Amino acid sequence: MGTPAAASSAFAVSGPFTAINVYLTEGGARGTISTSSSLHASAQNRYRSHLVRTTAYGLIPAEFRKKARRLPTAPKPTTANTFIRRGSLKSVTRRRTVLDFARGRGPYVWITAYDYPTARLVDEAGVDGILVGDSLGMVVLGLPNTLGVTMADMVRHTEAVARARPRALVVADMPFMSYEPGPEMALRNASRLVRAGADAVKLEGGAEYAHIVEKLVKAGIPVMGHIGLTPQRVLTLGGFRMVGKTEEQRKKILEDAKALRDAGVFAIVLEFVPASLAKEVTESVEVPTICIGSGPHCDGQILVLHDVIGLSERAPSFAKRYADAATLIKDAVARYAEEVRKGLFPAKEHYRD
């Protein structure tokens, strides 16, 4: 291959041939090989295959890394956790894993996202975690609750979010009746979400589903727990209302949190419980707690994106709106419609003769 016209970084490596020059460009890692006349063609192909498998940190094979000389044009990482993404000149922070979520390292910022553009935007805003929630049934699909969301829905939206390649941890909800029948079904469905791009799954329920959590964790699938108000139990709860106000409910939620911890969850969502109970749960378990409508005493917070940006028709009382995207969208579309009807769009700059 020829040398790129504008390379962002370059490396020179000495070896059994004259030189290897590796460049990082918009198209990815590229290189040139200059060899002596005695070097066999198959050897050239072998070294070219090494170039293809270069790493984002080194851009050269491990066996050559000690011999590499970084040229002056090579970009310098800003921190130990940044690297140059292959095929891009953008410096990005390394991806988060479940190991990054531990007590004492918060507060953690979580938000929902259901498609490629919103996942890209919330990740660029700097959130720690993205939940592909079954709340998409209500805020995206227009359903009255989450019970109608299917595995096909969750897989499709998880794939869309994963295509944004976010730095944030991606967790996908296990929808209603995707795990309740038993561990084997839970394992099959959780694996589908992981293959779709999720880093972990979330399931609702406490001690009664601890054996399912344990099964998933042993199989290598990280699990986030969810207790308190569990929307998939809306029919038995009698609506979306606060849970944990009675002593019996408080005791059950504490027991659930400890059972999920023992089963191996890496975090627990506490939804719409009294702040005092959320504080007690947080102090009782060693895994981080993520609050939604449960006060300030958890290790992190999570909200539904549509509530945050003002797209929800009926946002819950515990949500805060930080923008009015609904008005922004309506105004933009109204202006577009007006210009079309007046013959102002498309203007000359929007088309070619």
Active-site annotation, residues: 271
What amino acid occupies position 206? G
Beta-strand relationship, 82-84 and 289-292 = unpaired
Reported residue count of the chain is 353
Burial of 315 (0-12, 13-18, 19+ CB in 10 A): middle
Q: Cα-flanking dihedrals φ and ψ of residue 280, to 5°? A: -65, -40
- Tell me the two tokens of residue 164: 């944004």
Beta-strand relationship, 289-292 and 300-303 = parallel
- Tell me the two tokens of residue 323: 């923008």
What amino acid occupies position 46? R
61/51 Cα distance (integer angstroms): 7
Query: Mapping DSSP to helix (H, G, I), strand (E, B) and coil, where does residue 228 land?
Result: strand
Give the DSSP letter string of 293-343: SS-S-SSEEEE-HHHHHT--SS--TT------HHHHHHHHHHHHHHHHHTT
332/340 Cα distance (integer angstroms): 12
Residue 95 DSSP one-character state: P
82/76 Cα distance (integer angstroms): 10
- Tell me the two tokens of residue 264: 């191996």
Beta-strand relationship, 91-93 and 82-84 = antiparallel
Cβ-based neighbours of 323, under 8 Å, separated by 6 or more: 308, 309, 310
349/253 Cα distance (integer angstroms): 61
Place of tokens 């707690």: 289
